[in-house]
Every structure is written in C-alpha cells, then in structure tokens.
Chains A and B, each alone.
Chain A
C-alpha cells in the first residue's frame, strides 16, 4: 500500500510554540504534499515538495523530505489558534494522473 502514516496522531501545544508533524511512506514517490483539514471542511493544499528536493518553505511552514528514509516533516512555527486542524501528508505516485495517497493525519490543537 502507498498509504503513509503520520506521527503523532494528536498534538496539543500552546499558541506561539512550534509544531512538528512527521510522515513516513513506503513506496517511491514523485512528490509529497501536505494538506490541512478544518473540522467539517474540505482539504486545503499547503505545500508540495518534489522527490529531488530536500527542504521547502512557505510562510510559517517548513517541510523536509528524506527519500532515503522515506519520511517527511512539517514544521509550523509560531503557531496560532487558527492553525488548529488535522494535517495530512500525501504522496504522489508516478502515473500521469498523479494520484495522491494520504496518510492517517495528525490532529493539531493550538491552545490560545
């Protein structure tokens, strides 16, 4: 299965702290993406990192990718209450459709 796994399953931090979520996957990938899902809503694309990249930044987000270990991490710096959501990593396969296979998600709670 190409499904990834996130760690931890749940994370609770104080506002202003950094949050780190990890993702492991099993197969060769074309790219890895991170998504946010607020309760009762659809998923929102946050950031994409390609298999030949090691690190990428977007605002308060930093993503790393280690293809030798088949793992990725998402760091959210200076967290805000509005960051409370579930975060999913997803790996893109190498077909023309770029099918995404999602991990199990990390539920992040940022306490004001």
Chain B
C-alpha cells in the first residue's frame, strides 16, 4: 500500500528519557513534515525537510531533532522528555516542488510522558 507509516502508534515513557519516532513514505514525495497535535486538537508544524532544506519552527525546543537517512524517511528524536511533550505526533509528506499539493499524513503516534 502506498502510504505514510509511522511507528510506534503508542509510546509511554518516563520523564527524562530519550525516544524516537520513525516515519517512512513510499509515495516518492520530495518533502516530509512533523506536526504536533495537542489535547485541544491544535496542530503545529515542527519541521519540514526535503533533500535541500530543513525548516525548523523556531518555537520547537532543541530537544527535538529530525533525522533523515534518505528521502523516504524522516525520524523524530526527542531528548530529555518532559510532561508537556505528551501529544500526538503526525508525520506527513507532499510533493512540494509542484507548487502546493495536499499532504498525506501518517496515522499518528500518541506519546505519553509520565
């Protein structure tokens, strides 16, 4: 199936730990993104990345870092997890170089920090 897949679907961890969320897309898209959705369903862009440029939302703490081993993957690493990091994290991809196309989203990773 063509899709954006992210793992794990659920992640429960203690404060202070370091964790990663993986994302893969097999759509051949040139750009990938990470979004954070809080408990009020507010979606905020964290990063966008293609093979030329990484754009970071300046409000994202530097404990969050994207890692892209190749253009089909954009993993999210989070260091020193805090309670406020609890949220649902969505990965997405699009063919941005065609001047604005819809995103394809993954199904989300619900992160709970205890």
Binding site for B on A (CB under 8 A): 30-31, 33, 35, 37, 41-45, 48, 50, 86, 88, 92, 95-102, 104-105
Contacts and interface: CB of A to CB of B under 8 A. Distances in A.
B66 interface: no
Given A96-B96, A99-B55, A105-B41, A48 B102 contact: yes
| Interface size range on B against A | 20 to 34
Contact of A101 (B41, B45, B50, B94): B45
A41 B3 CA distance: 14
A110 B69 CA distance: 44
B45 A43 contact: no
Interface of B: 4, 31, 33, 35, 41-45, 48-50, 52-53, 55, 90, 92, 94, 96-97, 99-108
Chain A binding surface SS class: strand
A11 B75 CA distance: 36
A100 B46 CA distance: 11
Nearest to A88: B43
